[in-house]
């Protein structure tokens, strides 16, 4: 048994996420519901019943003991939300503690007083999902691009939590506003995280999946790739650009200077979001992918990625936004309508 304050960057968040509503507050209907888990590659995998896990992971839930097959049941856990209002004795004995919580900033009050697991401490949020306008469908007549952040390692004993290869599709309208779209192929679906759109594969599989994603997006979607500094970075970019152009796709380089800090590269996109210039079509993401996308951007602070906090989607967003923001959108001119007599009119007219 343990207690803690809400913290969206804590390892505990993965365990309580199912118990929260979309706004990050505890869902009272789920309080105390028992869930089950097994550990796969050092990560918990959750399910509503132990039978689901036994069917999905028989090598973990069963053990061959000679002639007998022994069932090893998954472990169970539950989460019960609580705030100071569930402790009237504390309020009565120390009312100043409640006063101190109410005097906090709005973000800290939501986290520490109301129990919101999505709220972040002041000064650490360069992105909030509430900044994005929500659209029901993808509009037409936009410039389309998909930005990539590249990695090339799979989990191993030496590197258990490598970075992901991640992408995000973004549209620019004629009004110079931007729209975030997922629209990921199913090949990138990860059974462990229940997400798609980011994956950890070596270059062979990685490049194959990137091409499949480009074919799914269509030739109208520009591929935006990062370019690392130095001769090696230029060679890698050129080789990948050839891979896409040979298949008929337009490839552009991330216009952000490669020597600029990650946070500086992200700030333009962050500012556009905060000023209401960016929308998102949430239905183009799988639910688990959308939740992971929001969480990764909201936890982004420009620091190096860790095992629990990655920066692959923020980097991809910064790249594709920077390209679209510097690309001029040319509207198709309206052709005038002529009412002048035709040549046939003069040919047939008798003088």
Residue 266 makes CB contacts below 8 A (sequence gap 6+) with 126, 300, 302, 314, 315, 317, 318
Most confident of 104-118, 179-193, 271-285: 271-285
pLDDT of residue 215: 97
**pLDDT number for residue 345:** 44
What was the pLDDT predicted at 231?
84
CB atoms within 10 A of CB 27: 14
- The region of weakest confidence among 50-64, 150-164, 170-184 is 150-164
The residue assigned the tokens 């550990």 is 39
164 within 8 A of 210, measured Cβ to Cβ: no
Q: How does residue 239 score in pLDDT terms, banded at 50, 70 and 90?
A: very high
Residues 303-341: pLDDT tens digits?
Answer: 888 777 789 999 999 999 999 999 765 444 444 554 555
Cβ atoms of 269 and 321 within 8 Å: the answer is yes
**DSSP secondary structure letters along 210-262:** HHHHHHHH-TTEEEEE---SHHHHHHHHHHHHHHHHTTT--EEE--S-TTS-H
CB atoms within 10 A of CB 85: 12
Contact between residue 53 and residue 37 where contact means Cβ atoms under 8 Å apart: yes
* Amino acid 141: pLDDT: 92
Reported as a single tens digit per residue, the pLDDT across 279-303 is 999 999 998 899 899 989 988 888 8
Mean pLDDT of 159-185: 94
Q: Which domains does the chain have, with CATH numbers?
A: 13-112 (no CATH), 129-326 (3.30.420.240)
For residue range 49-87, list pLDDT tens digits in order: 999 999 999 999 999 888 889 999 999 999 999 999 999
């Amino acid at each position: 048994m343990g207690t803690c304050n809400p913290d969206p960057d804590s390892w505990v968040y993965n365990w309580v996420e199912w118990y929260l509503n979309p706004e990050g507050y505890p869902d009272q209907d789920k309080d105390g519901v028992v869930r089950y888990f097994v550990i796969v590659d050092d990560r918990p995998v959750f399910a509503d019943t132990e039978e689901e896990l036994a069917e999905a992971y028989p090598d973990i839930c069963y053990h061959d003991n000679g002639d007998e097959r022994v069932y090893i049941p998954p472990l169970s856990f539950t989460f019960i939300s609580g705030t100071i209002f569930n402790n009237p004795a504390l309020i009565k004995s120390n009312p100043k503690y409640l006063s101190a919580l109410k005097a906090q900033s709005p973000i800290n009050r939501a986290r520490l007083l109301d129990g919101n697991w999505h709220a972040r401490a002041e000064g650490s949020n360069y992105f909030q999902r509430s900044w994005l306008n929500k659209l029901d469908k993808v509009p037409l007549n936009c410039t389309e691009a998909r930005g990539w952040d590249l990695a090339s390692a799979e989990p191993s004993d030496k590197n258990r939590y490598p970075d992901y290869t991640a992408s995000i599709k973004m549209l620019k309208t004629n009004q110079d506003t931007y729209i975030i779209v997922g629209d990921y192929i199913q090949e990138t679906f990860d059974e462990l995280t229940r997400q798609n759109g980011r994956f950890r594969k070596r270059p062979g599989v990685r490049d194959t999946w990137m091409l499949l994603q480009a074919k799914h997006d269509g030739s109208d979607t520009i591929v935006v790739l990062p370019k690392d500094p130095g001769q090696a970075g230029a060679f890698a970019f050129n080789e990948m650009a050839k891979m896409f152009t040979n298949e008929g796709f337009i490839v552009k380089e991330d216009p952000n200077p490669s020597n600029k800090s990650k946070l500086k590269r992200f700030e333009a996109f962050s500012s556009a979001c905060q000023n209401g210039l960016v929308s998102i079509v949430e239905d183009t993401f799988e639910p688990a992918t959308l939740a992971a996308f929001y969480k990764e951007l909201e936890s982004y602070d420009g620091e190096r990625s860790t095992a629990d906090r990655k920066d692959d989607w923020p980097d991809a967003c910064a790249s594709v936004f920077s390209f679209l923001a510097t690309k001029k959108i040319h509207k198709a001119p309206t052709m005038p309508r002529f009412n002048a007599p035709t040549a046939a009119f003069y040919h047939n007219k008798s003088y």
